[in-house]
Amino acid sequence: MPRSAALFPVAVLLVCALAAGDAGARGSAGATGAGDPYFPAAGNGGYDVLHYGLTLGYEPGVRRLVGEAEIEARAEQDLSAFSLDLQGMRVGSVEVAGRAARFHRGGGGGHELVVRPRAAVRKGAGFTVVVRYSGLPEVVRDPDGSEEGWLVTEDGALALGEPVGARAWFPGNHHPADKAAYDITVAVPAGLQAVSNGELRGRTREGGRDVFRWHVGEPMASYVATVAVGKFAVRRSRTGDGLPVYVAVDPGQVAASAEVLGRIPEVVAWGERTFGPYPFSSAGAIVVGEGDAEYALETQNRPVFPGAPGLELLVHEVAHQWFGNSVTPESWRDMWLNEGFATYAEWLWAEEHGGDSAQEVFDLLYAGDYFEKKADGDAVWAFPPGRPPNAARISGSPVYERGAMVLHRIREETGDEVFRGILRGWAAVHRHGNADTDDFTAYVERKAPGVDFSRIWADWLYGEGRPAAVPAEKETP
């Protein structure tokens, strides 16, 4: 377990089950990237992380973070060296199996911490990682211009990670293909709170600081890990099935967000009827001040909202708990499996709660009449959802709206009963795992073997421009 957050300076410990031998033991260095087509420097090769134990201390007045990470992993090759993603921050020392290890910064734009243990780690061996780090965590600017990483707020900070911002506040294997369990302990000045993922296992006062201990038992990709430090109004409740709901709201957003946040149990229950059992052991939300972040994010267990959310946005982010957080993309090329599904969840919710039907939304988008601005309507057809042109476009309109249109075309071809089975089955087959677009198309074809999906894949998922109109006889009633 991580040492007490009151005991700083702190270390990142990588304790390993090592091969017998010394620095001359055989092995090769793990890759300094996971091979992602859009973020080639993200993640690393040669090992699989099983658990992160993060112990953090943050001082908002000076914006200083001091951290310890215990990283339990398994070697996927004989490792003479391995890398962790870490941007900025000063590394004081690294230990492997309690012995000082050599390390240097480099690769991946300077975002790699390369560690060379005194003895190679054998393939298949479990190992636990020790690195001391501290400093002023940085904001990460995405290729699309948005900001993530460690965002300073008026009374604290907010950590957001999609796609690579987690490297700003803890070292790790920061690619969605490597999910792990987490224990996150955060010490902050007395009077502030630290909210994270999972369940709050303890809150104590140590040395004039309040220490919060959070536990995430289910696998989590690092891009949906979060820490929010500041003053929050906290409300605890349970769904009708007993699922704990933990909501933390910026005091200035309490009144504006109360009604929508009060519907979290209802939205979760609807999600279970639509997508299958809720995949995590708690739910909730974090609402920060307006302007504290540029976008909402489906951080695991409790999504983050910059200001009071609307009901449609709440439905979208709760749906991500199934699609994105439980079933996580194999690479950033598969982003539409997150956003297309969450967008279609909005359509289904509206259809079942007195709004437009999914067919009506589909038709408006196809005709270019859904958005007020013509440019927004045209943007839907800018590129295929299954093949964004570059890293700056993985959150573009085709990934959301046209991704949802792909799902609706499947529904049109299969009918409601089979389609609903596909939604629930996809979430079940890949629960707490990773999947890519080929996995999805193959799954759909297995579930509806008498249907020819080739035109949907060619025209709607991978085709350029707006596909030809759907024949009237194929429309969903």
Predicted confidence (pLDDT) per residue in 20-35, tens digit:
333 445 899 999 999 9
CA distance 5 to 132: 13
179-226 residue pLDDT tens: 999 999 999 999 999 999 999 999 999 999 999 999 999 999 999 999
Q: Is 178 exposed, middle or buried (0-12, 13-18, 19+ CB in 10 A)?
A: buried
232-274 residue pLDDT tens: 999 999 999 999 999 999 999 999 999 999 999 999 999 999 9
Residue-level pLDDT at 108: 63
Token pair listed for 347: 């359509």
CA distance 401 to 365: 8
116-151 residue pLDDT tens: 999 999 999 999 898 899 999 999 999 999 999 999
User: Is residue 48 helix, strand or coil?
Assistant: strand
Average pLDDT score, the chain: 93
378-428 residue pLDDT tens: 999 999 999 999 999 999 999 999 999 999 999 999 999 999 999 999 999
Identify any residues that bridge with 185 across adjacent strands, giving them in sequence order: 55, 213
Residue-level pLDDT at 336: 98
CA 110 from centroid of its chain's CA atoms: 23
pLDDT band at 472 (very low <50, low <70, confident <90, very high): low
pLDDT at 462 over 90: yes
